A and B are shown apart, each in its own frame.
Chain A
């Protein structure tokens, strides 16, 4: 818009700021889980992820050695050592002996605990505890301290969730569900779309209307009858009712209206002259479809494939109903949902698992965005 360039500097600056704010709001949430998934799990709960590059301060509890470790020095009983053991990586800023006042004394000072006992805890974790009477008991003195740890980034969380939380397995399950459920509908839809676009037969207009109507039918309408059908088929043939084959067909069925709609509108737009000259040369409909229509339709096939891939990969409802919510076949989305229940506060598990579930769609999305947008523009009547 050439006319807009004459506007003041301030208003153009305002546009940049406004867009920047929108972009920030839309990216920061995702950034949050990416950063958190790479943090040390103790640091995740000790400080917000936006502080992850600064040292984090956390209040912890430790125990001094029991009475058996005491030595007698100058008439006093002394316990000495380092509270971190052999790994004094952190800096203590304050300490205390009561949980109600965990940071009562600055590090390095000698605290009078009463009853002739004193405790000194230094920044590096070394301590000296003295008493005029011998220490007693099997358990040592409880000590609280605030320590700051340098920022620590790690891929441990990924190791944990992939190999011991079952996310790796679920990742494979998701792929197993998604790839066939993306490929199978394409061919079936392409043939139907060609027939609806270029062949004349009675009832064609009605079929198109039915397919457009089915585009918006809520998935919820299908769940109960199909669940009953699957259970019936399962018990009749003595096979499990929750199978990959079942979910492939279900996703094929749910994806078909959109596939046919999208492909038909594209194939109908192909130039009539090409079809007619092929027909005059004696090509049959089958030959025209395979040799002309399919190659020319590549962009729209790609669009649909991306849609279907993202839809199936991200789906939770169909997977929960037709594959179940536990067991060997559980897909990533259902696994993540289960983890939200069982590992509710363990953010190192949740953020890492969430990032693993979204990384494949993000890669597909960024590498094939052009086709995705094209499909979106062509098929925006679909309910999703």
Chain B
């Protein structure tokens, strides 16, 4: 263990030192090759111009190399692999896609993903908005927000254990140690094995993600609500609007852009949801989702990279509209800079 700590520290020093040495050394080298000081006027201007052309690439170079290896190349490669067989050697055309849409498990995953997409972003945004509005009105709102925000720091696996304990099932009549079944039994109901109830188990898994992400929506929306000009609210009150009208007709329209950002962010997260399903059910009892199915195919029976890549491409296709929207928004904002 001491060796491990030492090697971790060693890597940090080497990694950071290497980065510093690269950036410093590359700059120094550039100054030496194209000196701008101590040379005659015209040559100095020439060299300065050359420096100006090269230096930005020294700065962005390492980032570009890493992004290319870890994100850009894999996107192209995954697309290619989706047309190959399980070993990645033989071209099979659209066979993997045909398999996917005919496969019962895949269709189940698509169906579940659509339910997740319909429920989780909406629930998080709605609850986040309600909590943001309510906590703004009370003196202990900051503490309340901190506590609701807290699950955001918890890993999906940790959260799954937390909720699995809540859903824990014992036979009817026994002492329930899972909170949910204990409450149900207290009120005279029948305890259930929540995570294996067909169809409804999806919702019990979704609750975990909603529990984690509501704090995110709340924080972003809360700051947007603070940005609403006071005058518009006062004018509404003077005109006799009730709190619900103020909320729906004055507040919500003014933070519409922020709601869209929160919604899309959670949507992307939902498309990639993996850990929760893996740890709670591993896709059993019809609770499969795409990301978990993909992971499954990566390793199932030695791994089928063709099918795994196909599922990844389908997740990617769902993300593309959001990607284009983001780039357009960013171009609008940075257009003036």
Contacts and interface: CB of A to CB of B under 8 A. Distances in A.
B211 interface: yes
Contacts, number: 350
A30 B175 contact: no
A333 B319 CA distance: 26
Most chain A beta-carbon neighbours within 10 Å: one of B66, B137, B269, B309: B66
Contact of B70 (A179, A220, A250, A382): A250
B190 interface: no
Contacts of B150: 26-27, 30, 362, 365
A220 B81 CA distance: 13
B151 A26 contact: yes
B1 interface: yes
B146 interface: yes
Interface stretch (B57-65, B94-102, B110-118): B57-65
A226 B165 contact: no
B333 to A, nearest CB: 9
Nearest to A320: B295
Interface residues of A, number: 120
Interface residues of B, number: 121
Contacts of A48: 175-179, 182
Interface in A117-160: none
B70 A253 contact: yes
A107 interface: no
Interface string B240-283: 00010000000000000000011011001101101100110000
Most chain A beta-carbon neighbours within 10 Å: one of B1, B151, B153, B230: B153
B122 interface: no
Most chain A beta-carbon neighbours within 10 Å: one of B4, B11, B157, B237: B157
Interface string A368-384: 01000100110011111
B56 interface: yes
A175 interface: yes
A218 B175 contact: no
A49 interface: yes
A184 B137 contact: no
A211 interface: yes
A60 B5 CA distance: 46
Contacts of B216: 376
A202 to B, nearest CB: 9
17 contacts: A1-B136, A49-B177, A184-B19, A209-B327, A216-B319, A217-B316, A221-B316, A223-B295, A225-B73, A285-B55, A286-B24, A315-B155, A316-B274, A336-B158, A336-B279, A369-B149, A380-B261
